[in-house]
Amino acid sequence: MCAIVGYTGYKPAIPILLDGLRSVEYKGYDSVGIYLPLSGPYKNVGKVEGLVDILPDNLVSTAGIAHIRWATHGVPSLENTHPLTDTNKNVWIVHNGMIENHDELRQELQEKGHIFTSETDSEILAHLIADEYEKCLKPHNAVAKALEKVVGTYGLAVMFSNLPDTIVIASMGNKMSIGIKDGEYIIASETAPMLRHTSNVVQLRDGEYAIVTPQGYTIYSFDHEKLSRKPKTIDIAKETALRKDVPHNMMKDILELPRVLENSARGRVIMQEGTARFGGLDEHMKELSELKRLIIVGCGSSYYAGLIGKLMLEDYVKIPVEVVYGSEFINRKVMEAQDGTIVLGLSQSGETPDIIDSLAIAKKAGIRTYGLVNVVGSTISKMVDTGMYNHAGPEQGVRSTKGYISQIEVLALMTLELARIRGLSKARGAEFIAEIKQLPDKVRTILKERRKIKKLAEEYLGYDDFLLIGRKYNIASAHEGALKLKKVSYVHAESFPAGEVKNGPIAMLNEIFPTIAIMPSDSVYDAMRKDVELIRERGGPILAITTEGNMDAYSFADDVIFIPDTRECFSPILANIPLQLFAYYSGALRGFSQDAPLRPSNVVTFDQDTDE
């Protein structure tokens, strides 16, 4: 999501930093900033080229740090754009990652007189380091001491206003590397900014920090032990080819899904309590414990994520949940405010007009409104009484991929929090969390097999119609899979609850009408099997998505995609990955560019607006 570039050496730093920033623009971002010692920070809410426009011509600096940001804590604004600093502007930082205990640390520092100027979790790092720097006057020691207090993840680069050519970097859960050239050091969170300058790279491991000057670099462990590490030679041709191998934003988004699942859950699960916690819900616990009826409003993929949320909330929290299309909520009779009712708007972009209108109607009727949105500072995030962010990072393809997966995960965590306050045991809560934590690796396993899904997409290329079916949790997977297939590959795809096929849709099926059956080995597997047997009689090919090890699937399916075993309510997360890939490859093989929809059908959000 965010990316860091730094330079210290003897050449003008600005062109190198700007070039580095341009090389990571593909990640998507909403703001960009640069710190040059002796001349200060320059920031732009918008693109790198906007930053170039405001940089004075006469700047001379042979060191600096720079950052692109996608807002997670705090809206995109100049105050929240990195580099961030401390009260006395002695320390400047750029940070990737998330500081989980920032609230506690902020309170402690405010009591000591520190003045905070941004809404970010990252700013805490500048203040903590400044506090330590005053005491020890050694830059790398100050960084190490400060980081001892931090719970969270970071790729971090720090400059000190009185040490114009020194950069201290640190890594925990987010990569940081040093590219080495004679008397020049390029610092970056990815390899792309280095590729033009050097192939000699040293990567920090988790729990390490380093001090870098034009004279050299020293790496330390967090136990302050000096480490010797030889640079590795990266294969520039291979790295460049790798970047080219992922030609579309949709594929980039899909490949980021494991990380998305990690980020959406980060700082929100408390294993020892067997529960989840959302900053935005903390002050509303009384209201949530008295919740009698939840109405989820969504459009497209967000509506389908809502269907999964409904089942989870009904299964674990045992409250009635209704899921309504935004475009239909607005057609219903204006509801009277009822105690214990909340309307939850689901929207990746936070800008979908039907959801905005629905929430406005609910507010007018005096009903409490909550939001689950991905884009910080979006219209919906501002209009609701409270809510949660997906923390999925920028959705770069115009289709909801990261948004959908993270919506399901956040709804699962919200379910857990509500279930715990209504009596779910700590032990059962902890089991729930343990399974959530395994999801990113399970998604990685599916992604590794993507070539097989590409082959299947090739095999099914000759078909013009598809039926997707599922039961219970995976009815939504069928709908979402069909939506993606239509939207990405422009083929006709129908979706039905599997048990409904016999009530009409079966009439359209024949040997040139394949069915994709989403049927993990769960409580509805046997019923699904009967549905599929019936469909088989129509002669069309069956592609089953089922749980690893379920060899039974070969007895009725022509092709099988396996997904790892998981709790029933999480299976839509895993089942959706092959469906996204199948839609992606089906579109790509038909010659459609996933980045340029033939007929744009989403609200284009501000980040996508500027996506060339």
Residues in contact with ligand F6R by CB under 6 A are 299-302, 347-349, 352, 355, 399-400, 403, 483-484, 487, 602-603
Q: Report, in Å, the least distance between residue 559 CB and ligand F6R.
A: 24
Q: Report, in Å, the least distance between residue 240 CB and ligand F6R.
A: 30
Q: Report, in Å, the least distance between residue 58 CB and ligand F6R.
A: 44
Q: Report, in Å, the least distance between residue 560 CB and ligand F6R.
A: 25
Q: Report, in Å, the least distance between residue 396 CB and ligand F6R.
A: 12
Rounded to whole angstroms, the Cα distance separating 11 from 171 reads: 26
Reduce the DSSP state of residue 65 to 3 states and report it: strand
Q: Report, in Å, the least distance between residue 604 CB and ligand F6R.
A: 10
For ligand F6R, which is the closer residue by CB, 282 or 328? Answer: 328
For ligand F6R, which is the closer residue by CB, 28 or 139? Answer: 28
For ligand F6R, which is the closer residue by CB, 301 or 521? Answer: 301
Total Cβ atoms within 10 A of residue 131: 20
Reduce the DSSP state of residue 223 to 3 states and report it: coil
Q: Report, in Å, the least distance between residue 521 CB and ligand F6R.
A: 28
> What order of strands is seen across the sheet that includes strand 208-213?
84-85, 91-99, 152-160, 163-172, 208-213, 216-221, 226-227
Q: Report, in Å, the least distance between residue 569 CB and ligand F6R.
A: 21
* Helix (H), strand (E), coil (C) string for 125-166: HHHHHHHHHHHHCCHHHHHHHHHHCCCEEEEEEEEECCEEEE
Rounded to whole angstroms, the Cα distance separating 186 from 197 reads: 8
For ligand F6R, which is the closer residue by CB, 81 or 400? Answer: 400
Chain residue at closest Cβ approach to ligand F6R:
300
DSSP secondary structure string for all residues of 588-603: HHTT--TTS-SS--SP
Question: According to DSSP H, which parts of 174-299 are helical?
Answer: 236-244, 249-255, 257-265, 279-282, 285-289
Q: How far is CA 206 from the centre of its chain?
A: 21
Q: Report, in Å, the least distance between residue 73 CB and ligand F6R.
A: 20
Rounded to whole angstroms, the Cα distance separating 370 from 485 reads: 31
Q: Report, in Å, the least distance between residue 177 CB and ligand F6R.
A: 34
Rounded to whole angstroms, the Cα distance separating 450 from 79 reads: 41
Rounded to whole angstroms, the Cα distance separating 425 from 433 reads: 12
For ligand F6R, which is the closer residue by CB, 217 or 404? Answer: 404
Cβ atoms of residues 587 and 563 within 8 Å: no
For ligand F6R, which is the closer residue by CB, 420 or 487? Answer: 487
φ, ψ at 234 (rounded to 5°) = -90, 145
For ligand F6R, which is the closer residue by CB, 380 or 453? Answer: 380
Query: Which has the closest alpha carbon to 518: 549, 546, 485?
Result: 546
For ligand F6R, which is the closer residue by CB, 118 or 349? Answer: 349
Cβ atoms of residues 168 and 212 within 8 Å: yes
Rounded to whole angstroms, the Cα distance separating 62 from 184 reads: 10
For ligand F6R, which is the closer residue by CB, 147 or 579? Answer: 579
b/e per residue, 75-92, with b = 16+ CB within 10 A? bbbeebbbbbbbbeebbb
For ligand F6R, which is the closer residue by CB, 346 or 532? Answer: 346
